[in-house]
Structure 1
Amino acid sequence: MSRTDHTLPPRPGRLRNRLFWIGFLALFGWCLYDFGFSPQRIWQGLGRLGNVLSFMFPPHLWTEWVQIREILQGLGETLAMAFLGTLLGALVAFPLSFLGARTINRMGWLRFGLRRGFDVIRAFETLILALIFIRAFGLGPLAGVLAIAVGEIGVLAKLYAEAIENSSARPVEGVRAAGGSVPQGIRIGLLPQVMPVLMSITLYNFESNVRSGTILGIVGAGGIGFLLSDRIGAYRWDEAWSIIILIVAMVYLIDGLSAWIRMRLIRP
């Protein structure tokens, strides 16, 4: 037997590998066929995409104060939606996270029910929640705020609970050994450990919600996304690209500011 024969997997293993790759390639090819992929269609789409991108430069500049105020108001609404939605979600998720943490809540049935409730909330995409709240409360930023807030309850409560579970129990035990109560152990021994982590998680989600707020505006929840959808629907691509550039700039500034605040919280 040659040396290379020892490196080959057994015959059943080679057969499974071949069947796996044959199935993978067959599934990949079927998806391309079913979704209408073809070289001609891709080439034509790239041509139309280039035509759309040609409106990007030079960027459109608004010269009338009425138009500038409309754009600034849209950016402000998107930022406010993300801020209020994240804040409301964090306020509700904070106490729920203690009930969902294994190290705090010893009642397994309650903890299990809360964790599954967090999963149910996270199963609904923010866009779906926005459509539901638009139907209930009408068009405007209120629906966007509620959609972000409800979505954040499930996400933040889970992340907060995991941060609490990963904290050290020794400071809490030290407070209890000194005669402190359970609330005092949480306040003195636990919160100083987890608060920087919780703030970092909240700031990161706020950044994400700024981007989500743009999408929510497209479906009627107000903000800069509504103006962007209006410009695209009217084929005013030059203005649409200018709005996109402003959105990117706003997200970039918020990301930089949030990263600076997180570093200050983690390493004061």
Structure 2
Amino acid sequence: MTTRITEAEIAAARARVPLAFEAPLPVRLRRIALRTLIIGLFAYCLWAFDFSPARIWTGLGRLGQIAGFMFPPHIWQTWAEWAEILKGLGETLSMAFLGTLLGALVAFPLSLLGAKNIMPWPWVRYPARRFYDLIRAFETLILALIFIRAFGLGPLPGILAIAVSEIGTFSKLFSEALENTSEKPVEGVKASGGSRLEQIRYAIGPQVNPVILSILLYNFESNVRSGTILGIVGAGGIGFLLSDRIAAYKWNEAWTIIFLIIAMVYVIDWLSAKVRKKIIGEWSGAK
């Protein structure tokens, strides 16, 4: 049986503890100021970027025309044409693979310097972490433009751009994964006379390996997409061919290339899931 609260009881409770029914005036003023700021910033952005329903409607019409040019998708008739496209896909895939691998190889030893449970000295750990932040401040596209200027056109600048960008990302993620491991296995290896390197290898490594593998596979998938964008600015790969087709208004060929990129990403995602399930499952079973 439920007891119904009367209006008089509610009024009496409100009089006894008014703050339970309404926020204090300074809190309400801050909320109003924050909402006003957000609404004002949103309205200013719409005005500054020339947002208008007419412009959106016109853009949607043009987008429909472009989509119409893409159908039906183009099917190349000769092996030479297919070979060019497949070579571009292979270059993009190679850029992503090599960039991810090189970044991971450099990042892992650097991550040891930034992990608190590995590196107890703050005067080493803090500069290492700031170094991670410094590298991650550079966008992959900006790095690609710099490396294209230095090394010329082709996949090499794309590989270097992905690798340098991933050094900062991997170093941070790896160090955080190392810090989240349990100390009990480390104490066991230490009690049995293991050196510090053996503690890292046999106690921390088995705990962190599945996390590192997941990070590597996810970033590899992401770098395949990034490699497409880098190709557009001159780093080779399928992105360069896509940019060429769009510049020549060959929208049907561009759509076919986009479809192939999507299919490649789906296949990589499926294979990554298989690898992740198999390897991580084996590591979990070994434990």
TM-score by length of 2: 0.89
Residue equivalent to 1:203: 217
Matched, 1:234 2:248: yes
Name the SS of the counterpart of 2:260 in structure 1. Answer: helix
Render the CA deviation track for 1:66-92: whole Å, top value 9, x for unaligned: 111000000000000000000101111
Matched, 1:267 2:281: yes
Cα 1:73/1:30, change in 2 over 3 Å: same
> Alpha carbons of 1:101 and 1:15: their partners in 2 closer, same or farther (altered >3 Å)?
closer
* 1:129 maps to 2:136: no
Q: Report SS of the residue matched to 1:54.
A: helix
What percent identity do the matched residue pairs reach?
Answer: 64
Matched letter for residue 202 of structure 1: L
In the alignment, structure 1 segments of 5+ residues that lack a partner are none
Aligned match for 2:235, one of 221, 226, 244:
221
Aligned-partner Cα distance in 2 for 1:105–1:24: 42
User: Do structure 1's residue 42 and structure 2's residue 91 form an aligned pair?
Assistant: no
Structure 2 gaps of 5+ residues are 1-6, 283-287
1:158-211 CA distances to partner (integer Å, 9 max, x unpaired)?
111111111111111111111111111111112121112111111111011000
Query: In the alignment, is the contact (CA less than 8 A) between 1:60 and 1:239 conserved in 2?
Result: yes
In the alignment, what sits opposite 2:3? none
Aligned equivalent of 2:181: 167
Q: Aligned in 2, Cα 1:12/1:191: closer, same or farther, shift over 3 Å? A: closer
Do the aligned partners of 1:199 and 1:262 also contact (CA within 8 Å) in 2?
A: yes
**Normalising by structure 1, what TM-score?**
0.96
Contact 1:200 1:265 in 2 (8 A): no
145, 148, 163: which one aligns with 2:159: 145
| Correspondences of 1:174-185 after superposition (within 5 Å) | 174-185=188-199
* Alpha-carbon RMSD: 1.5
Could you say if the C-alpha distance between residues 180 and 241 of structure 1 is closer, same or farther in structure 2, counting changes exceeding 3 Å? same
In the comparison of the two structures, how many residue pairs are matched?
Answer: 268
Give the CA deviation at 1:42: 0.8
What's the counterpart of residue 95 of structure 1?
109
Contact persistence 1:55–1:241 (CA under 8 A): no
The structural deviation recorded for 1:8 is 3.3
Mapped partners of 1:149, 1:256: distance in 2: 23
Note the 1:251-262 alignment, pairs <5 A. Answer: 251-262=265-276
- What do residues 18-50 of structure 1 show as CA deviations (whole Å, max 9, x unaligned)? 332222222211111110111111111000000
State the distance in 2 between where 1:166 and 1:10 align.
40
Deviations 1:113-159 (A, max 9, x none): 11100100000000000000000000000000000000111111111
Question: Which stretch of structure 1 is more off in the superposition, 43-52 or 170-179?
Answer: 170-179
Partners of 1:30 and 1:244 in 2: CA distance: 35
- 1:222-257 deviations in whole A, cap 9, x for unaligned? 000000001111111111111111101100110111
Name the SS for the 1:46 alignment partner.
helix
Shift in Å, 1:261 = 1.2
* Alignment of 1:73 onto 2:81: no
For 1:191 and 1:225, locate their aligned partners in 2 and report how far apart those are by CA, in whole Å. Answer: 38
Tell me the distance in 1 between the aligned counterparts of 2:185 and 2:35.
53
Deviation at 1:111, TM superposition (A): 0.9
